[in-house]
Structure 1
Amino acid sequence: MIIMQLLDQPLFLLAWVVAIIFVLTIHEFSHALAATLLGDGTAKMKGRLTLNPFSHISWVGFFMLLVIGFGWGKPVPFNPYNLKWSRFGPAVVAGAGPLSNLICAIVFILLFKVLFPAVHPLFLIYSGIGAEGNLLAIFLSLSIFLNIILMLFNLIPLPPLDGSKILFSFLSDVKFSRIRETLEHQGPMILLMVIVLDNMLNLNLLGSLLYGALDIVYKWLL
């Protein structure tokens, strides 16, 4: 895990922490911005339409990202009944977070290729810190990694993740109400159990899934 490589190198650990804060802030701000643009002022009233990271950081999600490489920010409140598109509005708000991560990943990949053309943008994942250990390269590589991982993790269709809200927009018919209710009540516990058991039993199933998808997404972006 990247964090194990960084613990003995304070400057690189600092880059990791700053990258986490940046990525989480952009992700949650994008939710707030989307909700505001669609006509709901709840996020703005709650002080979430801001780039102040302290308004968006969930310390549990931050710790998860810091230690195991995937986590979450503080959920952005919004009233779905105030949105312009009553059915798909929540999906647009939910999708704004992962979309912002995708855009940031693309921008950072392009920037990395301009500044460090001889180095793989995800060198930290594939080869660890080596001769390429330039602090800016470390930060950009970590930001690319985190943006893609946060996007993929949040697209898992289990509450409270963004993927569940996107899924529920397509399951709005009454005949799907039981499925929605089951996922809304059991989803968070299922997600927590998967994360805990995956780490306690050292199965690394979720990590393998996310890292495999990370590789696919990166190759697609190229």
Structure 2
Amino acid sequence: MFSLFSNPEQLVYIAFTLIIAFTLHEYAHAYVAYKFGDPTAKNQGRLTFNPIKHLDPIGTILILIIGFGWARPVPVNRFYFKRPRLAGVLVSIAGPLTNLVLAFIAQGLYMGLVIGGVELPPFAIGLLNTMVYLNILLFIFNLIPLPPLDGYRIIADLVPNNVRPKLTQYEPYGGIIFLIIAITPLSQYTISPLFGTMIPAIQHTFGKFFGLLFGLNG
């Protein structure tokens, strides 16, 4: 799961990538919410590309220390939405999809430059590969259906009205459940296989697409 984090030389790539990834992820939530009529995030200065507005102090410190952290969640007031379910799903999925697009762009840029005969310096190769890997990881991670992740919010908006209150009563335990399946030995049966399967699969799909685009697959 954290193979990139084991090399201290990668810390700059990781920190740079996560700052961009977190900023655009949270901006996407704020932007889509605003487009559906919720000005909450905009009024709090979150409809911006300024990383300072989105980064959590503790999460940022951990990025600098261990290469991973978190951002400040964007506030969303569902009462502004005319169609709360649809808007809620689109606001929630906007962040993870932004990470997927960032990974797609980074891999396309890397392959395009290499195929075009550009000799990339090692730092550019390391940075682009890190951007691909970590943004795919964030895409998958945020779609895990546990609170407070985006995947849970999507599920909560898709289930019938009579089911949602039942989900809500388990929300306080979401973080505990995630820690159990992520940092205990159970991770080898839960999180690790998920990332170990999905990240290479998405990278391969991107590679096939750009291979066809650049005429490498026949």
Normalised TM-score (structure 2): 0.82
Aligned residues: 202
2-structure distance, mates of 1:157, 1:177: 13
1:183 deviates by 3.3
Identity fraction in percent: 31
3-state SS of 1:88 partner: helix
Letter in 1 for 2:108: L
Letter in 2 for 1:218: Q
3-state SS of 1:91 partner: helix
Residues 13 and 188 of structure 1, relative CA distance in 2, 3 Å threshold: closer
C-alpha contact (below 8 Å) 2:142/2:150 kept by paired residues: yes
Residues 203 and 30 of structure 1, relative CA distance in 2, 3 Å threshold: same
Residue-by-residue CA offset, 1:145-203 (whole Å, 9 max, x unaligned): 111000100000100000011001111421x13531233232122113323324xx884
Letter in 2 for 1:32: A
1-structure distance, mates of 2:158, 2:184: 30
Root-mean-square deviation (CA), in Å?
2.6
What are structure 2's unaligned runs of at least 5 residues? 209-218
Normalised TM-score (structure 1): 0.80
Letter in 2 for 1:173: N
C-alpha contact (below 8 Å) 1:158/1:188 kept by paired residues: yes
2-structure distance, mates of 1:36, 1:143: 27
1-structure distance, mates of 2:160, 2:79: 14
Residues 65 and 100 of structure 1, relative CA distance in 2, 3 Å threshold: farther
Residues 214 and 189 of structure 1, relative CA distance in 2, 3 Å threshold: same
1:58 deviates by 2.7
Which residue number corresponds to residue 147 of structure 2?
159
C-alpha contact (below 8 Å) 2:15/2:63 kept by paired residues: no
Which residue number corresponds to residue 180 of structure 2?
193
Which residue number corresponds to residue 161 of structure 2?
173
Residues 41 and 207 of structure 1, relative CA distance in 2, 3 Å threshold: same
Residues 91 and 202 of structure 1, relative CA distance in 2, 3 Å threshold: closer
